[in-house]
A and B are shown apart, each in its own frame.
Chain A
């Protein structure tokens, strides 16, 4: 059975880094040709709170999904409100994958997202408003239902309301009931709205 051999105690110590692991070295590495080098740099920059600007800028034109994922993980760990403007810009991107990655990251940043939520829900672009509701799905914040009620009462776009409805089916309380009835009336010709509002109402009444 010697075929399976004992591994040397220090495992493998490959350090393929071309530059030192200080702030400037890592920032330079973030532009490397090799995606592994960029990913490692993005990960190690989590030790430098001042790196958020560089990271969020890189995010917008980084083509490798694995590097983008690591950049976002580092941004979540650093949790800096300064990143929000740039992340919101990414929600407007043509790249659906980037948008969805950013939505997931914003869900992990409740303290940073909460102050701008009202603004996002009032955005001129219905897609951004839909994404804002998507973010609410995992945002652990006491105002979630309040925001959702405002959406179903006021948002003119059927799909923004539809997205809010899905979530109200889960978190809705009696406070949402009137808004749900009104929404049904407002989009009486849309079977989906009727279905989803009825479901949310049923759940509120039953609990």
Chain B
């Protein structure tokens, strides 16, 4: 079973994502901010991260930068944000996100992207340093 880490400071958002992902057969773990996410990601081999941007202590960009600088560079990450501006999108990709989604997330959309990322992640290196990949 694929194991997904949901990182968001809002409990309702975590629960929402958990319900969607569990109903699609994924195993889910949660973290409230980037530091807790680091603690968990360093101990559990997750298959994918779903990460909010604005969080206390360590935000989503910081988490991805940290995780990409450690050994876990392979795991695909979806960044979920309330911000629609294109420079946020670019910053997300520069931090190591594979996909940038705008909240509120629709269940079918999220699952489609996750299947896509989990499906292709073994064939391409998901660490995208340029801003072009998987945009729009």
Closest to B82 in A: A159
Q: Are A166 and B103 also in contact (CB < 8 A) when A100-B56, A159-B82 are?
A: no
Identify the stretch in B12-20, B43-51, B117-125 within 8 Å (CB) of chain A at 4 or more residues: B12-20
Q: Are A196 and B54 also in contact (CB < 8 A) when A94-B87, A97-B62, A159-B103 are?
A: no
In angstroms, how far is the closest chain B Cβ from the Cβ of A104?
A: 5
Is the pair A191, B107 in contact by a Cβ cutoff of 8 Å? yes
With a CB–CB cut-off of 8 A, which chain B residues contact A195?
Answer: 12, 16, 19
The distance in angstroms between the C-alpha atoms of A198 and B92, with both chains bound, is 32
Give 1 or 0 for each of B99-136: 1 = CB within 8 Å of chain A CB: 00001111100000000000000000000000000000
User: Is A119 located at the chain interface by the 8 A CB criterion?
Assistant: no
In angstroms, how far is the closest chain A Cβ from the Cβ of B94?
A: 12
User: Is B93 located at the chain interface by the 8 A CB criterion?
Assistant: no
With a CB–CB cut-off of 8 A, which chain B residues contact A169?
Answer: 11-12
Give 1 or 0 for each of A126-162: 1 = CB within 8 Å of chain B CB: 1100110010000000000000000000000011001
The distance in angstroms between the C-alpha atoms of A104 and B9, with both chains bound, is 12
In angstroms, how far is the closest chain B Cβ from the Cβ of A7?
A: 32
Is the pair A97, B82 in contact by a Cβ cutoff of 8 Å? no
Is the pair B15, A199 in contact by a Cβ cutoff of 8 Å? yes
With a CB–CB cut-off of 8 A, which chain A residues contact B55?
Answer: 100
Contact of A96 among B61, B104, B107 (CB under 8 A): B61
User: Is A176 located at the chain interface by the 8 A CB criterion?
Assistant: no
The distance in angstroms between the C-alpha atoms of A91 and B41, with both chains bound, is 29
With a CB–CB cut-off of 8 A, which chain A residues contact B56?
Answer: 100, 103-104
User: Is A48 located at the chain interface by the 8 A CB criterion?
Assistant: no
The distance in angstroms between the C-alpha atoms of A130 and B54, with both chains bound, is 10
The distance in angstroms between the C-alpha atoms of A104 and B59, with both chains bound, is 12
Top 9 A-B pairs, shortest CB-CB distance: A192-B104, A159-B82, A166-B10, A166-B12, A196-B12, A96-B59, A104-B56, A100-B59, A190-B104
Other than A127-B82, A159-B82, A195-B12, give 12 A-B pairs with Cβ distance below 8 A. Answer: A96-B54, A100-B54, A100-B55, A100-B56, A100-B57, A103-B56, A159-B104, A162-B82, A165-B12, A191-B104, A196-B16, A199-B12
**Which positions in A face B, CB cutoff 8 Å?**
94, 96-97, 99-100, 103-104, 126-127, 130-131, 134, 158-159, 162-163, 165-166, 169-170, 190-193, 195-196, 199
A-B contacts, 7 listed (Cβ < 8 Å): A99-B54, A100-B55, A126-B82, A130-B54, A131-B54, A162-B82, A192-B104
